[in-house]
């Protein structure tokens, strides 16, 4: 009986360790921040890569749907007081907010690769619903959660689920029409000191 009790406690602790940190901004904040970007619907993958080692440090997926544009930043450290968050989905991703997100991660030891892919409106709306429904993501599961979502979308069924951001980036690059840009600057490694104006 005692052995069964300790086994149950162990399982429950293990499940707790797999859960991400839940954040849930109020409805008013999310509605107020809602932003729909002009232009075609897109999926945008951000990959943060260590300059010295070439290893991926983080992945995030921005969804630009007709209804609104959000950033799925699974287990990310990014935050801004005017950008409400619900379980790793960040609302209010205007162009200045996107620039701030890139600048937050791009510094002397890290570069950011951005990959934009135009998709049908219906696919973007499905992706939006998928990131909103996914829930809070545990640490080190950023690429895993994004590949799981991509695999569920029409046109992305061949996506292999992975834990590695660079592998995800390479898979995403295989889709015809992907536009890639890269960002790297000499900001110090203390990204907590970066200030955002106009967000």
CA 19 to each of CA 13, 16, 168: distance values in angstroms, whole numbers, following the listed order: 10, 5, 22
In tens digits, what is the pLDDT along the chain, a chain of 199 residues?
444 433 333 333 333 334 578 899 999 999 999 999 999 999 999 999 999 999 999 999 999 999 999 999 999 999 999 999 999 999 999 999 999 999 999 999 999 999 999 999 999 999 999 999 999 999 999 999 999 999 999 999 999 999 999 999 999 999 999 999 999 888 776 654 444 445 6
Residue where the block lists tokens 């960002």: 183
94 burial type by CB count under 10 A (0-12 exposed, 13-18 middle, 19+ buried)? middle
In a 13 Å sphere around the CA of 197, the CA atoms on its Cβ side amount to: 0
| Dihedral sign from CA coordinates of 10, 77, 58, 129 | positive
CA-CA distance, 71 to 128, in Å (whole number)?
A: 9
**In the chain, where are the structural domains located?**
22-186
């Amino acid at each position: 009986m005692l052995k069964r009790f300790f086994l149950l406690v162990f399982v429950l602790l293990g499940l707790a360790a797999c859960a991400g940190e839940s954040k849930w901004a109020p409805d008013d904040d999310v509605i107020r921040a809602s932003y729909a970007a002009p232009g075609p619907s897109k999926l945008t993958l951000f990959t943060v890569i260590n300059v010295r080692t070439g290893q991926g440090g983080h992945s995030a997926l921005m969804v630009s749907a007709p209804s609104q544009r959000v950033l799925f930043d699974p287990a990310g450290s990014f935050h801004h007081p005017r950008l409400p968050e619900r379980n790793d989905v960040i609302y209010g991703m205007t162009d200045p907010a996107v620039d701030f997100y890139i600048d937050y991660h791009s510094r002397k030891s890290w570069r950011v690769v951005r990959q934009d892919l135009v998709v049908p409106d219906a696919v973007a709306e499905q992706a939006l619903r998928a990131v909103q429904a996914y829930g809070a993501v545990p640490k080190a599961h950023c690429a895993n959660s994004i590949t799981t979502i991509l695999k569920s979308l029409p046109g992305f069924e061949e996506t292999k689920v992975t834990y590695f951001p660079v592998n995800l980036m390479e898979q995403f690059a295989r889709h015809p029409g992907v536009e890639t840009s890269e960002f790297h600057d000499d900001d110090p490694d203390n990204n907590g000191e970066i200030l955002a104006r106009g967000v």
